[in-house]
Amino acid sequence: MLDDWLQTGIILFGLSAMFLVARKNKWGFVVGLVSQPFYFLSSWRKGQWGIFITSFFYTANWVYGIYNWFKEVNIRDGE
């Protein structure tokens, strides 16, 4: 049952994040970051160590995107 919830979270948040980022919507990075616990837990439970390790890099990139779109955009706009 937990695996079903994890896979649903991956689908909903992962695909939503990709769609939003492709549309240059800064909230896609936030949604992508929200999806990461689903990836971490699912890959850890199934022993998928490649995906587990890759999830750290995805998390770092989502955080970097959040920094760029929320912090630096405000600096450029003079806020």
- pLDDT for the residue numbered 42: 97
- pTM > 0.75: yes or no: yes
Which are the contacts of 29, defined by CB distance < 8 A and separation ≥ 6? 17, 21, 62, 65, 66, 69
pLDDT, tens digit only, all 79 positions of the chain:
999 999 999 999 999 999 999 999 999 999 999 999 999 999 999 999 999 999 999 999 999 999 999 986 565 555 5
Per DSSP, 24 falls in state: T
pLDDT in the model for residue 29: 97
Instruction: Say how far apart CA 47 and CA 41 lie, in whole Å.
Output: 10
Give the whole-angstrom CA distance, residue 76 versus residue 7.
Answer: 38
